[in-house]
Amino acid sequence: MSNISILMPVYNGMPYIIEAIESVLSQEYTDWELIISDNGSTDDTRDYLDTLKDSRIRIYKQPINLGIFGNLNFLLKETQIPIAKILCADDKLMPNALKEFIIFMETYPNCAICRCWKVGDLNTQGPTGFGGSHGDIPELLNPKAAKLMFATFGNVMGNLSTAICRPRLVLEAGGFDQRLPYAGDYEGWFRVAEKHGVAFLTKELVFIRQHDQQNTQLLNRNNELCEQQNSILEYIFEAIEPIDKGLIRTHWTLHFIAPRLSFSIRLLLKGRIKAALKSWRSLPANISALKAAFSYPLWKSKTQISYNTSNKLRARIKELNL
């Protein structure tokens, strides 16, 4: 049996999938399997997949589109290998990445989910944690600290391609909710983290490609994301320690809700009133929409004052992790 499974969901992956697969084939570490699930592509992806002859590669062609998270659940169920690396078809592994993943996960045998750094993260996240010079975060967080980490920084697992996991534990936590097509990874990873914690491999081991056809560019055109984020944040608010709720409410007002103002204004200028209003409906934790809107200048200033809640919560995360 191989030591690591690479799970690759794809929909209309040409031409980038060629480079993604080549980044796996060129790894110095060779004891792997690659499972590819095509989600009903209408371009030349399936024709290209038919040309792959490596015995370590398994290919599935879905008769109907399962959605990104339905496809991920399918891939998680298909592998029998304890360690898996998700790699979207438009991204690629850096040299020697697989060996680094295995070493890390074997060092932490109870680690259920781990986020590695992507190329460029050392400049933005800093070598030891989120926020660069604003502080550091431990490499491994227990469930209480992990819950507050997700509450403070959002989906700390980042892009799907920066995720390493133990599939059995992800599935036991419920996998990904297909009813949340815009934010299902945030909610799914949080459910795993509240049971098992989360880890960070602070090495740049994945290249994330930016292009016009990626999901982040195509989705949320009608502001569906805010509604799903609100429901997830409400769930997270109930899960964190009661003593942290007041600070989290203030933090979310400033850093999660206030930034919606600029997007809402752009929608209003386009005459899309209903879409704009979605940003302010059913806000989590009884947050005031008016207070959030008035907090926008402070958030925009990016001054030390605007980071006060982040710094306090970062210290609290480290305290919970002791």
Domains of the chain are 4-217 (3.90.550.10), 222-320 (no CATH)
Interior/surface letters 232-242, b for 16+ CB within 10 angstroms, e for the rest: bbeebbebbee
Q: Which residue has the tokens 């983290």?
A: 193
Cβ count within 10 A of residue 218: 9
d(CA 180, CA 184): 5
Q: What percent of the chain has pLDDT over 90?
A: 87
Residues 6+ apart with CB under 8 A from 252: 233, 284, 285, 287
d(CA 148, CA 132): 18
| Nearest by Cα to 101 from 87, 121, 88, 122 | 87
* 188-202 pLDDT per residue, tens: 999 999 999 999 999
Quickly state the pLDDT bin for 133 (edges 50, 70, 90).
very low
Q: Which residue has the tokens 């360690």?
A: 83
CB 33 within 8 A of CB 62: no
Q: What is the DSSP letter of 255?
A: I
- Encoded tokens for 143: 């469930």
Quickly state the pLDDT bin for 217 (edges 50, 70, 90).
very low
**pLDDT at site 115:** 97
Quickly state the pLDDT bin for 130 (edges 50, 70, 90).
confident
- Return the higher-pLDDT residue of 226 and 126: 226
Q: Which residue has the tokens 């029998």?
A: 80
**pLDDT at site 212:** 64
**pLDDT at site 177:** 97
| Nearest by Cα to 183 from 142, 215, 238, 228 | 228
d(CA 200, CA 127): 11
Residues 6+ apart with CB under 8 A from 306: 254, 298, 299
Q: What is the pTM of this model?
A: 0.94
Residues 6+ apart with CB under 8 A from 284: 230, 231, 233, 234, 236, 237, 252
- Encoded tokens for 37: 């699930």
| 3-state SS assignment for residue 165 | strand
Is residue 135's pLDDT more than 60? no
Cβ count within 10 A of residue 68: 21
CB 123 within 8 A of CB 204: no
**pLDDT at site 134:** 45
Q: What is the mean pLDDT of residues 35-60?
A: 97
Is residue 181's pLDDT more than 60? yes
